Amino acid sequence: MAYLKPPGFTRRVVNPVAGKLKIGGVEQLTVTGRRTGVPERVPIIPVQVGSRRYLVAPYGVSDWVRNLRAAGGGELLGHQPPVRFQAREVPVNQRAEIIDAYRKVAGRAVERCFRSLPDPGDHPVFEIQQPTEPITGESG
């Protein structure tokens, strides 16, 4: 399981700003921590391929990936109200087209990740499935 730790500047400055401002297609992923049970938030760029939306892990098997695998779903908050969803991990042999689309959307910010970890097996991809109605007020 490969993992490429994001640079400090990305973790401490870029991600918090992008997550709050939701710039460049960034949405906020909320997923329950597999050990703590506490909701964890991370900025992420969903990508659309055909009629389906996906989450791609550019840095490899990160905490949000492990948490999403354990929880089976999460919430996405973009420019609309948050939406709960279930996630299905995409098999490695079906990831290439999704990763290519993601790289076009995410741009230079993720190129280092894919140069350092060139194998599609190093980048978990999740299909966003069964979005439910927007969340209003209560979580749970």
Taking only the tens place, the pLDDT of each residue in 99-132 is 999 999 998 888 999 999 999 999 999 999 976 5
Task: Tell me, yes or no, whether 98 lies in a domain.
Answer: yes
19-36: per-residue pLDDT in tens? Answer: 555 566 899 999 999 999
- Structural domain contains residue 136: no
pLDDT of residue 79: 75
Check residue 35 and report its DSSP letter. Answer: T
With DSSP H G I counted as helix, E B as strand and the rest as coil, what are the percentages for the chain, rounded to 5?
Answer: 35, 30, 35
**Pairwise CA distance, residues 34 & 66, whole Å:** 7
Q: For residue 73, what is the domain's CATH number?
A: 2.30.110.10
pLDDT at 12 (0 to 100): 57
**Residue 47: which domain range?**
8-20+28-129
Establish if 73 belongs to a structural domain: yes
Number of separate domains in the chain: 1
Query: Residue 54 domain-assigned?
Result: yes
In a domain, 140, yes or no: no
Residue 83 in domain: yes
C-alpha span between 3 and 71 (Å, rounded): 20
- Inside any domain, residue 2: no
Residue 50 clears pLDDT 50, i.e. is over it: yes
**Contact status, residue 71 vs residue 34, Cβ threshold 8 Å:** yes
* C-beta neighbour count of 78 within 10 angstroms: 13
Q: Is residue 114 part of a domain?
A: yes
> What global pTM score does this model have?
0.83
d(CA 20, CA 49): 25
